[in-house]
Amino acid sequence: MAEIKQLSFPADKSLLSVIVAAKIADIPLLSVIATAKLADIPLSMDTSGAAPTFMFSNGLKSREAYVLLRYIGRVGNLYGQNAYECGQIDEWLEHALAFLSCSEFETASNYVDMYLEKRTLLVGNCLSIADIAIWSALVGIGQTWESPRKYNLTRWFNSICAE
């Protein structure tokens, strides 16, 4: 398997979900960055607005935060246990985008709270990139969402923090 040789991303966008997934999947993204610095392998921070990108040692590239997240999910076994769970994870990745919209935030957080009423995790019985993407969206929004009204969402959020 080709190793990640370069990571570039716009300075104004957060890759929190990619970094968290890499950590959980034991893909040492921060170690890759540090080692690359020591080995004089170029790692760039692209401030021109280009998409987040992995460049691999074989010259291939992957772009966009959720593409990188899916890559890490597949390599790190965080992408579900079967095809159905993979599909559910893809749905949640689409749903995570609603948290970025102020107008959709309340509806999205209420939906997740109700969904988690009888569940510990979003998909199946194992932590997945779906959990990481929604958790990262909540961390990154800067809005206050924790309340006694959203008990299930708060419980789930805190359990992901503990991972």
* 30 and 8 in a common domain: yes
69 and 87 fall within a common domain = no
Task: Give me the CATH number covering residue 99.
Answer: 1.20.1050.130
Q: Residue 155: its pLDDT value, please?
A: 93
The pLDDT score that the predictor gives to residue 88 is 97
Q: Does 23 share its domain with 57?
A: yes
109 and 138 fall within a common domain: yes
Q: Is the domain of 59 the same as that of 98? A: no
Domain at 21, CATH number:
3.40.30
Q: Which residues of the chain have a pLDDT value below 50? A: 31, 34-35, 38
Q: Are residues 64 and 97 in the same domain?
A: no
pLDDT of residue 31: 46
User: What confidence score (pLDDT) does residue 81 get?
Assistant: 94
The pTM assigned to this predicted structure is: 0.78
Residue after which a domain boundary falls, among 21, 53, 75: 75
- Structural domain range at position 120: 83-162
What would the pLDDT profile of 88-134 be if each residue is shown by its tens digit? 999 999 888 888 777 888 888 899 999 999 999 999 999 999 998 88
81: left (phi over 0), alpha (psi -120 to 50) or beta: alpha
Query: Do 155 and 91 fall into the same domain?
Result: yes
Distance CA(158)–CA(155), nearest Å, equals 5
Which residues, including other chains, have CB under 8 Å from residue 129's CB and lie 6 or more apart?
Answer: 17, 21, 69, 70, 72, 73, 78, 79, 89, 93
Instruction: Give residue 80's pLDDT.
Output: 93
pLDDT, position 122: 97
User: What local confidence, expressed as pLDDT, does residue 70 receive?
Assistant: 87
Shared domain for 132 and 154, answered yes or no, is yes
Tell whether 88 and 154 lie within a shared domain.
Answer: yes
Tell me how crowded residue 30 is: count the other CB atoms within 10 A of its CB: 11
Number of domains within the chain:
2
40 and 91 in a common domain: no
Q: What pLDDT sits at residue 153?
A: 92
Domain final residue pick, 23, 49, 75: 75
